[in-house]
């Protein structure tokens, strides 16, 4: 099972390294979308500071969902997905590897870009730290659920929009606790409760989502 997981993960990373521009698009989208808010809402520092955690989370969510749509599409089109599902090892390894690759290629770059966004919105040091910690726990949840949505909508026309509609409700708890942690820190309260809940959500999703994704992949390729 580890063999298949590593084979798929390393292949996806290699493919991304050969298409650098494509792999940069989600993080560019994230930054561009965030920079629209000061223009739209107005440059008042306190207001920007207040809304920053929420919109960072929303933009991270949208960047993840927009990029996850094509997660399995290429492999389905060229027959690689069939071959991966025919592997002797269980398909859950494929689902987990694809989710992990998506997080490394989308979630991690978003986290790396977030300090820049913190500067843009004038976030304080502790608030930024809380935001980063939340994203570190929360973006893997987005990748896992996104992969599930992508597997469920695989091969459908207008799959992209449907994917977002299916997955967004499932990601709301992560959004609430992630953004809530930052508000708590800014109000001088402890955010450890929020982080515990995010951690629990991550564990639950990591246990359940790959199983469901693997089942959905089997149905989609039938």
Partner 1 sequence: MPWPAAGRADGPDRGPVFWTESIMTHSPLSAERAPAAAPAAWVLQACDLAGQRGERALFEHLELALEPGAVVWLRGRNGRGKTSLLRLLAGLATPMAGEIRLHGVPQKLAGAEGRRSQLYIGHQNALKDDLTAMEALRFLARTRGERPDDEALALALQRLGVRGSRHAPVRTLSQGQRRRVALARLALCLHVDLWLLDEPFDALDADGIAALNGLLSEHATHGGATLLTSHQSPSLLDPVPRIFDLDRHGLA
Which positions touch partner 1 (CB under 8 A)?
A: 3-4, 7-8, 11, 14-15, 18-19, 74, 77-80, 82-89, 221-222
In angstroms, the CA 77 to CA 155 distance is 9
Give least dist CB 217 to partner 1, A: 11
User: Which one, 74 or 208, has the nearer CB to partner 1?
Assistant: 74
User: Which one, 15 or 31, has the nearer CB to partner 1?
Assistant: 15
User: Which one, 73 or 132, has the nearer CB to partner 1?
Assistant: 73
User: Which one, 22 or 50, has the nearer CB to partner 1?
Assistant: 22
| Contact partners, residue 123, CB within 8 Å, separation at least 6 | 49, 52, 131
Give least dist CB 85 to partner 1, A: 7
Query: Rounded to the nearest 10 degrees, what angle do helices 92-102 and 192-221 cross at?
Result: 130
Give least dist CB 204 to partner 1, A: 28
In angstroms, the CA 52 to CA 32 distance is 14
User: Which one, 83 or 190, has the nearer CB to partner 1?
Assistant: 83
Give least dist CB 222 to partner 1, A: 5
- Number of neighbouring beta carbons within 10 Å of residue 90: 15
In angstroms, the CA 147 to CA 214 distance is 10
Structural Rg of the chain based on CA atoms: 18
Give least dist CB 36 to partner 1, A: 32
User: Which one, 83 or 196, has the nearer CB to partner 1?
Assistant: 83
List own/partner pairs for 208-211 with CB under 8 A and 24 or more apart.
209/95, 209/99, 209/144, 209/145, 209/147, 209/148, 210/92, 210/95, 210/96, 210/99, 210/144, 210/147, 211/92, 211/95
């Amino acid at each position: 099972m580890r063999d298949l997981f590593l084979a798929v993960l390393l292949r996806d990373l290699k493919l991304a390294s050969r298409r650098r521009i494509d792999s940069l698009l989600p993080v560019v989208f994230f930054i561009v979308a965030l920079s629209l808010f000061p223009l739209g809402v107005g440059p008042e520092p306190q207001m920007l500071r207040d809304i920053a955690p929420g919109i960072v989370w929303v933009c991270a969510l949208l960047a993840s969902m927009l990029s996850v749509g094509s997660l399995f599409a290429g492999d389905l089109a060229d027959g690689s997905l069939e071959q991966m599902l025919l592997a002797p090892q269980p398909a859950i390894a494929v689902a987990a590897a694809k989710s992990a690759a998506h997080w490394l290629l989308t979630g991690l770059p978003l986290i790396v870009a977030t300090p820049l966004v913190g500067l843009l919105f004038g976030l304080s040091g502790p608030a930024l730290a809380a935001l980063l910690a939340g994203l570190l726990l929360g973006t893997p949840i987005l990748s896992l659920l996104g992969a599930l949505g992508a597997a469920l909508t695989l091969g459908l026309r207008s799959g992209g929009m449907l994917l977002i509609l299916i997955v967004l409700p499932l990601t709301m708890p992560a959004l609430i606790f992630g953004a809530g942690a930052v508000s708590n820190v800014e109000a001088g309260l402890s955010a450890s409760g929020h982080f515990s809940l995010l951690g629990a959500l991550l564990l639950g999703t990591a246990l359940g989502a790959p199983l469901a994704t693997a089942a959905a992949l089997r149905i989609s390729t039938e």
